[in-house]
Amino acid sequence: MSGRLWSGWRATYLNRREDDDPGDTFVRLLESGLPDETTHIVARLGTAFAVLNVHPYCTGHLLVLPRRKVRDLTDMNSEESRDLWSLVGEAVEVLRAEYRPDGLNVGLNLGRAAGGSIPAHLHVHVVPRWIGDANFLAATADTKVIPEALSVTGDRVRRRWDDAVARRRSP
């Protein structure tokens, strides 16, 4: 017989409608006028940007997304698609160089049923992974082990990103 794990706190998430968006989170972030260090934005490229996930699975968990609020890959124009996937590639390079993970998860959750917490604004997760990391511990114990403050992660990733871009652009 299997045991039960009560997680009533999940009811709010499960009962949300597909079109619910908690305040256009990413659009508000971009339009806030706050410095990137405050908003945790680590990179910008034309029509896309990368930001630290404020509810990370592990240290270095990034979200890469178009500036414009779009729901699906097919809603992006060619410039948005190019910028998004360029930043995803750079994010992989930066996280490998800075954190030396054993692997990376790169993926999207399209629609609420797929696990998308903000399904109205497409975002690509880039998550460094280590053998033996805590994986999805939060699903079973409402606990995550994140050994580094977001501000420290942001500084490290932003510095590494700037270095990578500078190297790529130098003759």
Q: Which amino acid is at 21?
A: D
Series of mean pLDDT values for 10-residue runs along the chain (171 residues): 56 53 77 94 96 90 95 95 96 96 93 76 93 63 70 92 77 60
Cα separation, 93 vs 44, in Å, equals 15
Domains of the chain with CATH codes: 13-169 (3.30.428.10)
pTM: 0.79
Put residue 155 in one of left, alpha, beta given phi > 0 → left and psi -120 to 50 → alpha.
alpha
Per-residue pLDDT at 32: 94
Q: Which amino acid is at 160?
A: R
Cα separation, 39 vs 36, in Å, equals 5
DSSP for 88-112, written as a single string: HHHHHHHHHHHH--SEEEEEE--SG
Catalytic residue among 40, 61, 123, 125: 123
Per-residue pLDDT at 21: 57
Per-residue pLDDT at 23: 44
If DSSP codes are grouped into helix, strand and coil, which group holds residue 120?
coil
Is-catalytic flag, 123? yes
Per-residue pLDDT at 91: 96
